[in-house]
Amino acid sequence: MGRIIFYEYKNYQGRRYECDSDCTNFHSYLSCCNSVRVESGTWVIYERPNYLGYQYVLTKGEYPNYQSWSGLNDRVSSCKMIHFTSEDPDRIQLYDKVDFSGQMFETSEDCPSVLERLHWREVHSCKVLGGWWVFYEQSNYKGLQRLLGKGEFASPAVWGAACSTVQSFRRIRE
């Protein structure tokens, strides 16, 4: 069970909206979102309704303003809780070409700089063999985020990205 609270203004002020399950659209309750408290669980919050737009992964903690979760603005309209399983160990395979071709790199570790570690500027496909992973558009876990669960992603479009820029990635743990 998880719980997340969205606040209209910075530092947990103004109207609030509480969730303990996935929500496709809470924009009618809050016109904007400037702070968030994650009381339990790990959540993905989305800029637009129906789990669309920019996404941000938040773990238990306090986020007093939208910059604290790397938000681009004060717009958040939907959320999903991440459900963890212990079936498979955290593992991911990255490819430098679409459709799982070209060079392949497999790891179970976080990577703060794809360029330094792999000498790649882009990731064109991947297979998540276990766990939950977040791709970041910039090194050191900054910039736009994309959450990937177990599955095969033959191109960036499949994981919802407009381009193949992945400069860091890390595992999300319970």
Q: Given this chain, do its domains 3-81 and 91-172 carry the same CATH topology? A: yes
Q: What is the rounded distance in angstroms from the CA atom of residue 81 to the CA atom of residue 5?
A: 13
List pLDDT tens digits, range 75-96. Answer: 999 999 998 877 778 999 999 9
Distance between the two ends of the chain, CA-based, in angstroms?
12
Topology (CATH) of 3-81: Gamma-B Crystallin; domain 1 (2.60.20)
Task: Give the residue extent of every domain in the chain.
Answer: 3-81, 91-172
Does this model's pTM top 0.75? My answer is yes
pLDDT of residue 88: 76
**pLDDT greater than 90 at residue 40:** yes
List pLDDT tens digits, range 123-171. Answer: 999 999 999 999 999 999 998 899 999 999 999 999 988 888 999 999 9
> What is the homologous superfamily of the domain 91-172 according to CATH?
Crystallins (2.60.20.10)
Q: With contact defined as beta carbons under 8 Å apart, do 165 and 122 qualify?
A: yes
